[in-house]
A and B are shown apart, each in its own frame.
Chain A
Amino acid sequence: MTIHDKTFESKFAVVGRSVKRSDTLEKVTGTACYAGDVALPGMLHGKTKRSTVAHAIIKRIDVSKALALKGVKAVLTHENVPRVLHYGSPHPRSASVTRDQYILDNRVRYWGEGVAAVAAISEEIAEEALDLIEVEYEPLPAVFTIEDAMRDGAPVIHDNGLPQNQVLPPVIVERGDVEKGFADADFVIEGEYELGRPTPAYMEPNICVAQWDGNGKLTFWSSTQTAFMVRGALAEVLGIPLNKVRVLVDHMGGGFGAKQDLFQHEFLCALLARETNRPVRMEFTRKETFLGGRTRHPGRIWLKQGFRKDGTITAREAKVLFNSGAYGSHGPGVTNVGTAALTSLYRCENVRLEGRCIYTNAPIAGAFRGYGVVQTYYALDLQMDEAAEKLGFDPAEFKLKNAVREGDIAPSNHPIVGHGLEDCIRRGMEETGWPAVRRHGRDTGVKRRGWGIGCEMHGSSAYPGIKEQGNAIVKMNEDGTVTLLTGTAGLGTGAHTALSQIVAEELGVPFETISVVQGDTDVVPWDIGAFASHTTYMGGRAAQIAAADVRRQVLAHAAPQLGATPEELTIRDGVIVVEGSNRSMTLAEAVAPQRGMPAIQLVGVGTYTPTKSYSFAAHFVEVEVDTETGEIRVLQVIPVHEIGKVIHPIAAQGQIEGGIQQGIGHTLSEDYVIDHQTGRSLNAGFVDYKMPLSMDMPPIRTIILETAPDPGGPYGAKGVGEDPIIAIGPAIANAVYDAIGVRFRRYPITPEHVLAALRTKKQEVA
């Protein structure tokens, strides 16, 4: 409940306090409306038929038996849907996107790709109809690994003019002189790191409902983080203007980045509804969220660094290879962000980095919390730990010595503000009693313990990849209450509460007087969507600007009523006071309709175009390794985060605790596996795709620092959503080394890997 930091006191009335979240009563009482709860008169149920081959041309597709089934109302195949090449990840402002998808194609590129869709009067009939659709495939050679896809003679998955199945030209980032840096090094270390395929596994399966009205307007309920992107993609692909598409998202059951994409069924649902002239609902089964969903990019990173004896890094060279799967999705963004991230975290003037993203016939990799950085910082932090040992440093001291600091140039080419990472490392060392807690492989029993540290930094907003914009409208009603219109999505983080707090603070009114209108593209101002840890940072700042605009108007209106100038007025807790006098009036009195006075319209507009700020974290983790079973248990986590001004402490803690849960899963157990002969998914469900649950989760003692507030964020706030999932992985792997003396240059580190490594170690000793 408490923020474990003595410096954590808010001088603000609303900001910095854990007010009751505005979305929470609905959620605990079961009244919150998710897209799947929408039921419309006459609604049909849509289902997708998915491919049973990984790479093939569709020679023949026969839907006659399906259409003949009683209760089936429409069937779509590549032969009767518009053929429009579109973005899977529709960020029109992104520097790099791939236009490589059709609604349905005459070719399939991964096992489980949609090849047809049915609308019927019940889900059961729709499913039965899927089985009646006959598809004849002409198989093509399929490749599932990066190596196979880059090999000479590999099948070309998308004919985009680039060799070796590359999604985009190689991302090259160079600073300084790497040759000179390595020549100056006393010690060079290099290693290769293997990265598995975790999936976001949000609790709410993908779902949408489409309804057309008599004027050709589409109303579309969807579980999406990016309502305006969905609107844009639907309008473009269906060939209708934006004002003929209204996207509604009230509550959504998690997304973690992946729900920025469109997943075929959005287009199919809209087309089935248009074809049948009835509302259509399409909900993924849990299995489909794996098959047709998005994963983190698996891959391989080769990393080499040079050091001087004093621990200074002289050079860093890396080759980052990501497996994009069958489509580009966020591959370009992930490759750019993940590769560029290696310029920083630990200071180095001479870097040469190369990032590549490769099409294969594997499941589609997309956006997922930590976007490329989870992968590259895992490699970087593990290698720093190894280098520290080889050079005779304590790993925390070594990371502190090399930590990015104020004025350093960030991956975004901005100077870093403050000393956030150093503060996190120092604080964590104090809290844990570092380095005395470390075991150095001393334990000799069956169960051996160890401590590790992992560090990270993460930007709020996707700048410079995307020039983003946040917008807000704040209206004051004639009773002094306030309505905030925001385009930011409520994917469960508490962002709308944070935005309301910012508006209340700026206006000087109680939190309870703010209500939020969101999730309706016809009503709220445009927003790019909820991702890149930017909602509070960017949407919050826009809301603050809009609230300040209303405050100016209110004070101008109240000043003559109070016989003062606007400059003499302050609003505190909903009361306008003339500073230095006893004259005051409530906001409600000031804006109330009055006889003989013209009505007033109090509307403030805020637009904010951010650049970037960085948040920091150092995670300190204790693990226990069972040398007989190979099981690794995380015993405790002390995450220290520097995130600028905290708007809602409990919500911020919640982000950190949840990110740690997902990160523990990535590092120890989560891997979505496909058969490398057929491309068939092998663990598309919660029993076989193993995530950490209540029994697996360790105690987490979160420490939040506010030592490096960012001038670009509201009240100095920065993002926190993605940071925790990045730092936890390397902290665990480094702790495992402290426990058993084995460095795993991979994730997940499963019991099989532990046992095999211990066997090898034993043989080496023998």
Chain B
Amino acid sequence: MSQIVSMTINGEERELALEPYRSLLDTLRNEGGLTGTKKGCDVGDCGACTIIMNGKPVNSCLVLAVEAAGAMIETIEGLQLAPDKPHPLQEAFMRYGSAQCGFCTPGIIMMAKALLDENPNPTEDEVRFGIAGNICRCTGYTKIIEAILATAADLQRAKSA
């Protein structure tokens, strides 16, 4: 039996008709039409489906959509500041070559955003710890960590300027 669940996704209030057993990940991808969030394992092991829910990063495959009723959801599609203006993390991931196959990229960028929201000036170890639940099989993480640290430094500079 479908039921209607309301949530705010990337600033837009949405009413979605879904089965009660549907994960938030499947809901975002199917009913929500937001396929940027990826399904790498569907059991909470890989982090490819990381989104921000009420300010906290979560594996959206482990959240039932009905649990997200009334929640504020941020996905990779909502990160751009304007259509032609990517978020600084997105800019840095492009500049540093942090995306290879790109399948883990949306999840890692969302995790990095949550990390920087909470800790704007992380050490390298804190960044490594922060994305420890996100599997990337292509990059060895080198350029991902470079990009997150560079973004933090840029944001700090912009704040103090």
Contact = CB atoms under 8 A, between A and B. Distances in A.
A697 B140 contact: yes
A393 interface: no
Interface of B: 21, 29-30, 34-43, 45-46, 48, 75-77, 79-80, 86, 89-90, 93-97, 99-106, 109, 127-129, 131-132, 134-146
Contact of A254 (B41, B94, B103): B103
B100 A18 contact: no
Given A28-B93, A660-B140, 17 more contacts: A1-B146, A26-B102, A30-B37, A39-B30, A202-B103, A203-B138, A204-B40, A253-B102, A253-B103, A254-B101, A286-B43, A492-B138, A654-B97, A654-B100, A654-B143, A694-B129, A699-B142
A687 B42 CA distance: 13
Contacts of B89: 28
Contacts of B140: 657-661, 697, 700
Nearest to B106: A30
Contacts, number: 177
A32 interface: yes
Interface string A688-708: 000101110101100000000
Contacts of A414: none
A30 B36 contact: yes
A36 interface: yes
A59 B48 CA distance: 41
Contact of A28 (B34, B109, B127, B146): B109
Contact of B104 (A29, A37, A203, A662): A203
Contacts of B137: 200-203, 254, 256, 658, 661-662, 691
A20 to B, nearest CB: 6
A34 interface: yes
A202 B136 CA distance: 9
User: SS class of chain A's interface: helix, strand, loop or mixed?
Assistant: loop
A233 interface: no
Contact of B41 (A23, A286, A691): A286
| In the complex, the 8 A-B pairs of residues with the closest C-beta atoms, listed nearest first | A30-B36, A492-B101, A253-B103, A27-B102, A30-B76, A657-B140, A686-B45, A650-B97
Given A286-B43, A286-B45, A693 B129 contact: no
A734 B114 CA distance: 40
A525 to B, nearest CB: 24
Contacts of A650: 96-97, 143
Contacts of B105: 27-28
A496 to B, nearest CB: 13
B21 A21 contact: no
Interface in A631-663: 650-651, 653-654, 657-662
B94 A695 contact: no
Nearest to A27: B102
B148 to A, nearest CB: 10
Interface in A157-181: none
B132 A693 contact: yes
Given A492-B102, A493-B100, A29 B40 contact: no
Interface of A: 1, 18, 20-21, 23-34, 36-37, 39, 124, 200-205, 251-254, 256, 283, 285-286, 491-494, 650-651, 653-654, 657-662, 685-687, 691, 693-695, 697, 699-700
B138 A685 contact: no
A156 B160 CA distance: 73
Given A203-B136, A654-B139, A29 B101 contact: no
A473 to B, nearest CB: 26
Given A29-B76, A30-B37, A661 B97 contact: no
9 contacts: A21-B94, A29-B86, A34-B38, A124-B21, A203-B138, A653-B143, A658-B137, A687-B45, A694-B134
Contacts of A204: 38, 40, 101, 103
Given A30-B76, A700-B142, A494 B100 contact: yes
Contact of A693 (B38, B79, B135, B138): B135
Contacts of B144: 694
